[in-house]
Amino acid sequence: MLNISEFVDVGYVSKSHGIEGNVVLRINDSFPDETDEIEFIFIEIDGGLVPFKIVEINLRNSLTALLKVEDIDTDEQLKRLIGCPVFFAKKDLNSNISESNTDITGYLLFDKKQGEIGLIDSVLDYKTNELIRILLNKKEILIPFNNELVVSIDNKKKEIIMRLPDGLLDINKQS
C-alpha cells in the first residue's frame, strides 16, 4: 500500500471534459508549474491511491488543469473520478532539488504560511543535510532543504515555496 506522506495533494477531479476522456482538475497551490517530466498522477479512489499514467496535462489557468490519463475512456469511468483528490509523488515534484541546489543562490524563499522569508545567500552541504542560508537583518538563518519541505521551485521566477515547520524561523532568530 502506498504511504500518503510520500505524496502531495494537488487538487481534485472537478468534472469530465469533452468526449476524449479528459477531466478538469481543480488545482491548489501545491500544483507544480512544470509537469512535463511527471509520468504518473495518483487519484484517491475508495481510500487508496491509484496510479494513472499521464497522457497529457495542460494548465488552463491558476485554478484548473486539463488531464488525460491512460485506460480511462468511458463516461462511466470518468464519472467515478469526479470529486476524487489527486496527488503527485513528492519524489517527482522535487527530483531536481539535489541536482540544482547550487543554482538556487539568489532565489527568493517563501513559506506557505508566513510568505516571503528572504533571498537565498548560499546552500551549505553537510553530510546528511543540505541547508539554505539566508541573511536577514545581518543574522544568518539556516533552513533544511529537503523534499519533505519543498512545495515548488519556479526557475523562471527564481522562487522557492516551502512548508516550514512551525517555530523554525523563531529558533533561527533567537540564536
CATH code at position 120: 2.30.30.240
Predicted confidence band of residue 166 (pLDDT cuts 50, 70, 90): confident
Q: Pick the closest to residue 88 from 149, 146, 43 (CA basis).
A: 43
Predicted confidence band of residue 99 (pLDDT cuts 50, 70, 90): very low
- Cα of first residue to Cα of last residue in the chain, in angstroms, is 42
Based on the fold, state whether residues 83 and 151 are members of the same structural domain: no
Predicted confidence band of residue 174 (pLDDT cuts 50, 70, 90): low
C-alpha span between 134 and 37 (Å, rounded) = 30
C-alpha span between 86 and 52 (Å, rounded) = 10
Q: Which domain holds residue 54?
A: 4-93
Q: Is the pLDDT of residue 97 over 50?
A: no
Is this model's pTM higher than 0.85 or not? no
Residues 138-148 have a mean pLDDT of: 83
Residue-level pLDDT at 128: 66
The domain tally of the chain equals 2
Listed in sequence order, the residues at least 6 apart from 77 whose beta carbon sits closer than 8 Å to its beta carbon are: 21
Average pLDDT, the chain: 83
Based on the fold, state whether residues 79 and 13 are members of the same structural domain: yes
Based on the fold, state whether residues 10 and 88 are members of the same structural domain: yes
All three cell numbers of 72: 480511462
| DSSP letter assigned to residue 90 | H
CATH number at residue 29: 2.40.30.60
Q: What is the pLDDT of residues 104-113, one digit of tens each?
A: 889 999 998 8
118, 134 in Cβ contact below 8 A?
A: yes
Based on the fold, state whether residues 121 and 159 are members of the same structural domain: yes
Q: Is the pLDDT of residue 173 over 60?
A: no
Listed in sequence order, the residues at least 6 apart from 175 whose beta carbon sits closer than 8 Å to its beta carbon are: none
Based on the fold, state whether residues 68 and 106 are members of the same structural domain: no
Give the CA count within 13 Å in the CB-facing half-sphere of 163.
10
Which whole-number Å values give the CA distances from 134 to 19, 26, 62, 116, 131, in the listed order?
50, 34, 29, 12, 10
All three cell numbers of 89: 509523488
C-alpha span between 175 and 172 (Å, rounded) = 6
